[in-house]
Amino acid sequence: MGFFDSLKRDNKQTPTVNNEEIAPVEQETAPSPQIQDPEEIEVHVREIEAPTIDPVPSKPLKTFKEKAPVQHVVGHTKIIAIINQKGGVGKSTTAINLGAALGEMGKQVLLVDLDPQGNASSGLGVDKSLIQQCIYDVLLNDVPLEEVIIPDISEGLDIAPATINLAGAEVELVSEMARENRLKDAVGGMRGRYDFILIDCPPSLGLLTVNALVAADKLLIPIQCEFYALEGVTKLLESMKRVKSRLNPTLDIYGILLTMYDSRTTLSKQVVDEVRDYFGRLVFSTPIPRTVKLSEAPSFGQPITQYDPKGRGSLSYIELAKEVIARG
C-alpha cells in the first residue's frame, strides 16, 4: 500500500453500518461462578486483590532561581515541536527521552509540556498535585514562563509542566487576543538560555497545537511503524503550510522519526520503506525500537537513560540525540 492510498484513506467516509447485518457475537468468556456463601465471597475477593505498586517518589520541586549554574555558553536556541495529531505514536516518549539524552550530552534543554494529559510531566516524575501553576497560566494568565519551570528534573533538562487545567485552554484561548502567539511570546523570551526547547504537543490540531506551530522553528514528527502509519500526516502538513504562510514563514520539518519499530515484522519494514520513499533524507536514520522498558520507564518517573541505560531504547534515543546535534 502506497502513501497515496493512505491519503485516500484520510479522506474516506466512515462506512455506514446496517444493524441487521451484524450477527450476534457468541460469548467467549466463561460465565462468572455462582457464589452463595459469604465466606466463599471473601475467599474470591482475597484472590483478586490488586497487586501493590510502590508509589513513585515525587521529585522535589525547585524554582527557576535554584537552577544549577549552566556550564557552557548557550548558542543558538532551536525550538522543536514534537507533533502528530495521531494519538499514541510516541510524542511524549520522544520528548522525555530525547530531552534527557540531549541533557546528558551536555546540552541545556527545556521541555514544554503542551498536552493536558501531562504525560511528559508525570513521565519525568513530576507530582502534578504539587504544582500550583503550569503552562496554562503562562498561556492565559500572563504568568512568566520562568515561574512555572521546574529546573534540573534530569541532568541538563528543565520542564514547564502541564496539568489538567490546560484542558480549558483550548476553549478559553478562542476569545483571547493574539491567541495563536501566546506560546511563541513565552518561549521566545527563553532564546539564548537553552540549546533546545522541545514542545510535547497534544494529539489534536486545535489551538494548543497551532500555538506550537507558531512558536516552533522546526517540527519533529514521530511516525509509528504500524498499519495506517501515515494516516493524518497530510492534514498535519496542511496545517503546517497554513501557519507557515501566515504566521511563521520559516517553519519547516526538522525530521521524521520512526517509532515502535519491530525488526521482526515485515510490516515495520514496509512502513520504514514507505516513509523513507516519501520523506527521503528528512527521516532520521535511527528508528526507535519497540521495547517494554520504554513503556515501563514513565511509571518510575525516569527517562530511559536512567531506567535502563544500557538497553536498546536508551541507546536508540542517544543515537537520535547525536543526529539532532549533528543537524544543528
Ligand X SMILES: Nc1ncnc2c1ncn2[C@@H]1O[C@H](COP(=O)(O)OP(=O)(O)OP(=O)(O)O)[C@@H](O)[C@H]1O
Cβ neighbors of 43 (< 8 A, separation 6 or more) are none
| Interface with ligand X (CB under 6 A) | 87-93, 115, 117, 119, 203, 259-260, 288, 290-291, 294-295, 298
In the region spanning residues 249 to 278, those forming contacts with Mg ion, defined by CB under 5 A, are: none
C-alpha to C-alpha distance for 6 and 137, rounded to whole angstroms: 39
Cβ closer to ligand X: 138 or 221?
221
Closer residue to ligand X, CB minimum distance, 77 or 93: 93
**Of residues 276 and 312, the one with the C-beta less far from ligand X:** 312
Output the nine-digit C-alpha cell for 164: 489538567
Which of 6, 86, 89, 91: binder of Mg ion (CB under 5 A)?
Answer: 91
Using CB under 5 A as the binding rule, whether residue 119 contacts Mg ion is answered as yes
Residue 88 interacting entry, from ligand X, Mg ion, none, C-beta within 5 to 8 Å by type: ligand X
Beta carbon nearer to Mg ion, 92 or 248: 92
Cβ–Cβ < 8 Å for 287, 271: no
103 vs 222 by CB, closer to Mg ion: 222
Q: Which does 260 bind (CB under 5 to 8 A by kind): ligand X, Mg ion, none?
A: ligand X
- Give me the residue label for grid cell 504544582: 131
What length is written for the chain? 328
Per the CB < 8 A criterion, the answer to whether 72 and 195 are in contact is no
How far apart CA 154 and CA 65 sit, in angstroms, is 16
Residue type, position 108, single letter: Q
Closer to ligand X at the Cβ: 108 or 122?
122
CB of 205 to Mg ion, least distance (A): 15
The least CB distance from residue 208 to Mg ion, in Å, is 12
Q: The dihedral of CA 132, 136, 138, 142: what is its sign?
A: negative
Site track 50-89 with Mg ion (rule: CB under 5 A), x = hit: ----------------------------------------
The residue behind cell 521541555 is 111
Q: Name the minimum Å distance from CB 71 to ligand X.
A: 30
- Residue 122 is a binding residue for Mg ion (CB under 5 A): no
In the complex, minimum distance from the CB of residue 317 to Mg ion, in angstroms, rounded to a whole number: 16
Report the residue number whose CB is nearest to Mg ion.
92
Burial class from Cβ neighbours inside 10 Å (0-12, 13-18, 19+) for residue 277 reads: exposed
Q: Provide, rounded to whole angstroms, the least separation between the CB of residue 166 and ligand X.
A: 13
Distance in Å, CB of 32 to ligand X, minimum: 30
Q: Which stretch binds Mg ion (CB under 5 A): 15-23, 63-71, 114-122, 210-218?
A: 114-122
Q: Are strands 157-160 and 252-259 parallel, antiparallel or unpaired?
A: unpaired
Helices (H), 67-125: 91-104, 119-123
CB 147 within 8 A of CB 153: no
CB of 95 to ligand X, least distance (A): 8
Q: For 213, how many CA atoms within 13 A lie in the half-sphere containing its CB?
A: 26
CB of 90 to Mg ion, least distance (A): 8
# binding residues, Mg ion (CB under 5 A): 3
Q: Is the dihedral of CA 253, 255, 261, 264 positive or negative?
A: positive
Residue placing its CB nearer to ligand X in the complex, 245 or 295:
295
Query: 197 pairs with which residues across the strands?
Result: 79, 110
Residues contacting 164, CB < 8 A, separation 6+: 116, 118, 128
Q: Is residue 92 close enough to count as binding Mg ion by CB under 5 A?
A: yes
Closest to ligand X by CB, 117 vs 270, is 117
Measure the CA–CA gap between 231 and 9, rounded to whole angstroms: 7
What residue type is 63 in one-letter code?
T
Residues that bind Mg ion (CB under 5 A): 91-92, 119
